[in-house]
Amino acid sequence: MGEPESYRSGRLGVVEGRRRVGGRAMVVRSSSLETAAPVVGQVTDVDKDTFWPLVKGAGSKIVVLDMYTQWCGPCKVMAPKFQELSEKHLDVVFLKLDCNQENKPLAKELGIRVVPTFKILKDSKVIKEVTGAKLDDLVAAIETVKSS
C-alpha cells in the first residue's frame, strides 16, 4: 500500500510529519499546522483552513493566490499559465483557492468580486490584486512586488 497521491506529489510543505487537515493530506514541518510550508516550484491547493497557516509559513516570501471556481472558463485558461509562473519564479509561493461554498468565508474575507482574482501577499498582507484572466498584468504585478 503506497502513500496517497497528495503525499507523493508534494502538494504541501516538506519535512517531518504528515497530517490530514480539512480532508486534505499535508506534509508539515512539525505537528502544528501553524508551521506548514508550501512547496516552491508548483501551485499548492489551499482551503479556508490551510490558507493562513501556509501564508504565515511562507515567511517573508511573496505569495500569489489564484482565486478561481471550477466552472469559470477564464480560470481554466489561466490555470496552466499560473503553473508555469510557479515553475519560473522559484522565490515566490503560488497558491490556489477554489471559491466554492465551503471556502466562501475566506473568499469574502479576501474581498473577491470576480473570478479569477489574483492576490499578491507579502508578510501576510495583501499588497496587490489583479482581476480577470490578464496574464501580462499578473506578471507585471509579480515583478513589481519582487523589485520593491
Q: Which residues are catalytic?
A: 72, 75
* Residue tagged 511573496 (cell numbers): 62
Distance CA 111, CA 142 (A): 19
| Distances 44 to 66, 96, 147, 148 between C-alpha atoms, Å | 10, 6, 24, 25
CA angle 112, 115, 116 (to 5 degrees): 110
Contact 141, 89 (CB under 8 A): no
Contact 54, 24 (CB under 8 A): no
Distance CA 98, CA 3 (A): 25
